[in-house]
Amino acid sequence: MSSSLFSLLNRARSTAVGFHDRFSWTVRFYGMDRYSRIVLNRNRKMSLAPQLDRWIDSGKNVQPWKLLDVIQRLRKQRRFSQALEISEWMRNRGVSGPLQSYHSIQLDLVGKVHGLASAESYFNSLSEEDRTERVYGTLLNCYIRKSLPEKSLSHMQKMKELGFVSSVLPYKDIMSLYTKVGQYEKVPDMLTEMKENGILPDNFSYRICINSYGKRSDFEGMEKILEEMTQQQYITMDWNTYAVVANHYIKAGLSDKAIAALKKAEEILLEKPDRDGFDHLFSLYGNLGSKSEVLRLKEVQESVYKEGLLSRDYCTFIGPLLKCGELEEAKLLLKEWESSGNSYDFRLPDMFLIWYCQQGLVEKAAEMLDEILLKGKTPTPNSFAILASGYMDKGDMGKAVDYMKSALSVFPGSKGWGPNLKVVTSLLNWLGEKAETEQVESFVGLLRAAIPINKEMYLALIKANVREGKEVDGLLKSMEDDKIEVDEEIKKLLAKN
């Protein structure tokens, strides 16, 4: 599979929010208090401090614990800068009060927004009294995010000396660090140390240790830890752990053991349904190449969600079937989805477009897209871009340009989409070498609405103009205005003019 098609496949699976979701957000917004409206306002660039100032100035009270709740929700949305703005506003306004978690949250946000040096500076500015176990743990997490073993282990040792390693969290952090840096052999030692110190491992601790054995293909060790985990009365087994085990078996070609682990995960999902869990199992069965298990699991999921299946569920079914090469079965599910009453979701046909292109059947993909257009549907930019990438991989650059122009033409208003830069660069290079100036100008004009002007755009325009013996003084002036340097490649082109 080409890297461009692979990125398009990932994008196709995660595009857009449906009307139902947008409607739900709107209804909830008007029923929320002023705190929740901050979270529901999705403008990530908006400054939040002025809103809070207006509340205070109008005589309204601000409850610190509610602001902390807003901060936590913003963090979940990865709106770290806005969360930090509220946290700093609380400190500046003196409304943080005696909240024990404040410094820990502030430290985490400083690290994420301003970097590790700023986080260390903030930590060092705190009094000994404020440097609680939780604050020490947050700084440890900052080191681990940056994959710094020496600093992490030194800080962990300091925490031990202070008696600040009384929970499972620091151990999980170090285990995660060893996993990030590929030192899988050290993970089990942390699990052993944890137990020796009277700290009970949780599900994540066991799972990351199981994964460390699997990464080293030590299946005996992996099975031993899994057995130990299942024997702990305080542990409730989760589908994710069995999925991790199954994944390692699949990679090792141990299909029977993989299916046994997946069945265990399935039993858990039947007791406590989780759509993400079912999605994961479908993907793993697809990796196994098991059409029968994919179709069986579809029936299981239908029995669990009696209210009906969503478009995302059909995406989950169809993906593994296409991976198994079961095109006709996948087509049947596509027809079932089309008659299911769900709103039209281009992620599903896009999966077929991508599959056809992967198989070198770009014309089949084009036929399918034409049929969609004849039904009166307006494809997303991604649908056209898939064809552009497919034709480019096939070497038909003219058609690739046409489909990319179609993608760019429907781009306005398509949030979350952007053209693949590798594909665009290849098309610009071809246009500069082969196309007429007017064609290049048309393409660049559309492209500028989707991505910032860059050297490659100017290079294509200059190449085309130089080939046709035209002046490029205006282009060079535009480059200067756009602060794009005339490099050696462009200078050599100009020397030919």
* 128 located within any domain: no
Question: Comparing 55 with 302, which gets the higher pLDDT?
Answer: 302
Give alpha helix (H) positions in 77-126. Answer: 80-93, 102-114, 116-125
Total count of domains within the chain: 2
Write down the pLDDT at residue 1. 44
Residue range 232-242: average pLDDT? 97
Does residue 307 form part of some domain? no
Whether residue 488 is contained in a domain is answered as: yes
Last residue of a domain, one of 230, 259, 286: 230
> Which segment of 214-223, 304-313, 322-331, 410-419 scores lowest on mean pLDDT?
410-419
Does any domain span residue 126? no
Owning domain of residue 420: 366-497
pLDDT of residue 47: 82
207 inside domain = yes
Question: HSE of 406 in the Cβ direction (CA atoms, 13 Å)?
Answer: 21
The pLDDT of residue 497: 66
Q: What is the pLDDT of residues 354-367, one digit of tens each?
A: 999 999 999 999 99
Is residue 177 scored above 60 in pLDDT? yes
Q: Assess if residue 210 is contained within a domain.
A: yes
pLDDT digits (tens, 9 = 90+) for 250-299: 999 999 999 999 999 999 999 999 999 999 999 999 999 888 999 999 99
Closest CA to 298 of 325, 323, 331, 321: 321
Report the pLDDT averaged over residues 13-26: 35
Quote the pLDDT of residue 125. 94
Has residue 76 been placed in a domain?
no
Q: What is the structure's pLDDT at 489? A: 86
The pLDDT assigned to 492 comes to 83
Cβ atoms of residues 56 and 62 within 8 Å: yes
**In angstroms, rounded to a whole number, what is the distance separating the alpha carbons of residues 133 and 101?**
11
Asked if residue 273 is part of any domain, the answer here is: no
Q: Report the pLDDT value the prediction gives residue 24, as an integer from 0 to 100.
A: 33
Contact between residue 95 and residue 67 where contact means Cβ atoms under 8 Å apart: yes
Which of 201, 230, 259 is the endpoint of a domain?
A: 230
Average pLDDT of the segment spanning 435-460: 93
- pLDDT of 31 higher than 80: no
**216 touches 183 (CB < 8 A):** no
- Token representation of residue 206: 């066991």
H/E run at residue 440: helix 437-447
Q: Is the pTM of this model over 0.85?
A: no
What CATH number is attached to the domain comprising 469?
Answer: 1.25.40
CA distance 10 to 70: 31
Averaged pLDDT of the chain? 88
pLDDT of residue 7: 45
pLDDT for the residue 164: 95
| Higher-scoring residue by pLDDT: 180, 72 | 180
Q: What number of residues does the chain have? A: 497
CB 381 within 8 A of CB 16: no
pLDDT digits (tens, 9 = 90+) for 110-141: 999 999 999 999 999 999 999 999 999 999 99
Token duo for residue 136: 């020490």
- pLDDT tens digits, 387-413: 999 999 999 999 999 999 999 998 765
Kindly report, residue by residue over 58-93, the tens digit of the pLDDT.
777 777 788 888 888 889 888 999 999 988 988 888
User: Where does a domain end: 165, 200, 230?
Assistant: 230
Instruction: Reply yes or no on whether the pLDDT at 14 is more than 70.
Output: no
Q: Nearest 5°: phi and psi at 265?
A: -60, -40
Return the percentage of the chain with pLDDT > 70, whole number: 89
pLDDT at 19 over 60: no
Residue at 268: amino acid letter = I
- DSSP class of residue 472 equals -
Bigger pLDDT: 5 or 83? Answer: 83
- What residues contact residue 141 under an 8 Å CB cut-off, 6+ apart? 108, 173
Evaluate if residue 493 carries a pLDDT over 90. Answer: no
- Cα separation, 40 vs 37, in Å, equals 5
